[in-house]
Structure 1
Amino acid sequence: MDTPRSDREIVKLVIRHYAQFQPSHGDIWLDTVFDEAQDRYALMQVGWDRGRRVRGNLIYVTLQDNQVWIEYDGMEQGITDDLIAAGIPSERIVQAFLPELKTALTA
């Protein structure tokens, strides 16, 4: 299997795993957003909690230059270990949400 296709499948697998979780409070559901044409993958939360609208990213990942860029990771434990365990080498994962000097540090 070629690397970009494999990366896509792994990223989608990890995001689908988190999409199965039920938020601990509120009437909130989780939606996956997969744009394979532009290699953008997200997990969104949408709903209501205590009379207030809830919406936003929980996970946002892009694939570019043969690397997996974690643009946003709102999960408590983070998704990096999940991506590595599923087969993406740590040296190809960029934690883009960290300051520039730290983006090369992975896992």
Structure 2
Amino acid sequence: MDTENHRAAVKHIIETYARFRPSHGNIRLDTVFDETHDRYALMQAGWDRGRRVRGNLIYITLQDGKVVVEYDGIEHGITDDLIRQGVEEKRL
């Protein structure tokens, strides 16, 4: 799988999770795609029970032909999602 396919797979997964809505609070999910530097993220921002919520849910970089999961805040993890999208396990 080449870099363009890795980008497409990562963006598809992040866009899929961005469609989910948190079960409580007023929290916005934002996708961040920097194809120039190959940095991809799903951010959360908002309020829940009077407290500020912000930060990464997913942060992935592409480097040296690999998909590097820098941060995975998804309950079941996204590695299987990446593999289902065609990213070879040895590229993770």
| Fold shared by both chains (TM-score > 0.5) | yes
Name 1:39's counterpart in structure 2: 38
Between the aligned residues of both structures, percent identity stands at: 64
In structure 2, give the amino acid aligned to 1:74: G
Aligned to 1:12: 11
Deviation digits for residues 55-93 of structure 1, max 9, x if unmatched? 000000000000000000000010000000010000100
Higher relative contact order structure (alpha carbons within 8 Å, sequence separation ≥ 6): 2
SS at match of 1:32: strand
Who is 1:63 aligned against?
A: 62
**Higher Cα radius of gyration:** 1
What is the Cα deviation at residue 52 of structure 1?
A: 1.1
Per the normalisation by structure 1, the TM-score is: 0.84
How many angstroms apart in 2 are the aligned matches of 1:57 and 1:4? 23
**Following TM superposition, by how much is the alpha carbon of 1:20 offset from its aligned partner in structure 2, in angstroms?**
0.6
The 1-side partners of 2:49 and 2:14 are apart by 26
> For 1:21, what is the secondary structure of its paired residue?
coil
Structure 2: any 5+ residue segments left out of the alignment? none
Deviations 1:8-40 (A, max 9, x none): 010000000000110011000100000000000
Residue 40 of structure 2: SS of its match in structure 1? Answer: strand
Please tell me the root mean square deviation across aligned C-alpha atoms, in Å: 0.8
Could you list the runs of 4 or more consecutive aligned residues of structure 1 that deviate by over 3 angstroms after TM superposition? Answer: none
Distance 1:78 1:33 in 2: 19
